[in-house]
Amino acid sequence: MTTETNSDSCCGTGSCGSGTTVDVHGIGVTTVYKVSGMTCGHCEGAVSQEISALDGVTAVTAVAKTGEVTVTSTAQLDEEAVRAAVDEAGYELVGHV
């Protein structure tokens, strides 16, 4: 396993978060995505906010330390829509976990 440090972190040290959850009601399909570039709580919040705006999303949990973003939605999401949301937040969707 390789550890990378992103010196371009929005908070400089990459130490301002331990997971951000955005819950917008309900349960459904849960998918875990791998996102590169998140280093702090602000990063987690930006990714969570963009993904939670997608139709059908009911909850998002982003964890910078692992690069994992868990998304719960009412139905399977279009991966290109998720990729576009992550890109809009300034990060890269690597794939599924």
Residue with tokens 């990459």: 14
pTM of the model: 0.74
Query: Quick one: pLDDT at residue 10?
Result: 56
Q: Name, in order, each residue with C-beta under 8 angstroms of 65's C-beta and a sequence gap of 6 or more.
A: 18, 19
Would you state the pLDDT for residue 21? 47
Specify which residues 50 forms β-bridges with: none
Digit-by-digit pLDDT tens for the chain (97 residues) are 333 334 454 555 444 544 544 544 556 899 999 999 999 999 999 999 999 999 999 999 999 999 999 999 999 999 999 999 999 999 999 999 8
